[in-house]
Amino acid sequence: SAVISQKPSRDICQRGTSLTIQCQVDSQVTMMFWYRQQPGQSLTLIATANQGSEATYESGFVIDKFPISRPNLTFSTLTVSNMSPEDSSIYLCSVATSGAYEQYFGPGTRLTVT
Amino acid sequence: KQEVTQIPAALSVPEGENLVLNCSFTDSAIYNLQWFRQDPGKGLTSLLLIQSSQREQTSGRLNASLDKSSGRSTLYIAASQPGDSATYLCAFYHRDDKIIFGKGTRLHILP
């Protein structure tokens, strides 16, 4: 397994602003993922962030809205840009061990946009 | 389209009872299946991972089984405690590297 931390744990932001969420892992991992969990819903994958390549975004998510950095094998950031109330969600990063078939999650960032 | 269904959506049981949470999936061509626990407003905690060649895994009071032919997995919780109250999510890994989550079962253990 891996120990994952996220910053901030929660934030309240105003419409139109941007927030950058950090994800730190205690070991080197190739595959990192960013998810969104809207209130009362299950997890939706935003993008896969592999070190040394551009992030791969899922349908419905675009780089201009959710830019991702992956500067090394232990760290990644997700920015939620030009926020609206519809972006209020829990944002989670995860890492994969044993290939892509076992994931471990960070504690999440609870974002509220007013 | 791959789908994961968790039944029941919510469950309340008295403390001390044994219980079973169900997860069904439509595509038998899965690799691994993983059960998670999520407390309100928090991230996911991995409980058990069943690899594609395995049929069950156990950790303490938890036991998870996997039957790929019938497209079902169960999570058995023995001697439930109030601290077990949480949402339990199952997720399976598809061969195209996608992970598909169920919507979860909200479990409430009554003291």
Work out the pLDDT band at B30, boundaries 50, 70, 90: confident
Percent of chain A as helix, strand, coil, to the nearest 5: 5, 50, 45
pLDDT average, residue stretch A42-68: 92
pLDDT for residue B105: 96
Work out the pLDDT band at A40, boundaries 50, 70, 90: confident
Helices first, then strands: H and E counts in chain B:
0, 11
| Among candidate residues B11, B5, B30, B25, the one with its CA nearest the CA of residue B77 | B11
pLDDT for residue A100: 60
Contact A2/B at CB under 8 A: no
Q: Distance (Å, rounded) from C-alpha B65 to C-alpha B54?
A: 9
Q: Distance (Å, rounded) from C-alpha B60 to C-alpha B1?
A: 35
Give B37 to chain A, closest Cα distance, Å. Answer: 11
Contact A102 B32 (CB under 8 A): yes
Cβ-Cβ contacts under 8 Å, B91 against chain A: 103
| Among candidate residues B80, B86, B73, the one with its CA nearest the CA of residue B16 | B80
pLDDT for residue B93: 86
Terminal Cα-to-Cα distance of chain A (whole angstroms): 36
pLDDT for residue A53: 80
pLDDT of A54 higher than 80: yes
Q: Which residue has the tokens 């928090």?
A: B42
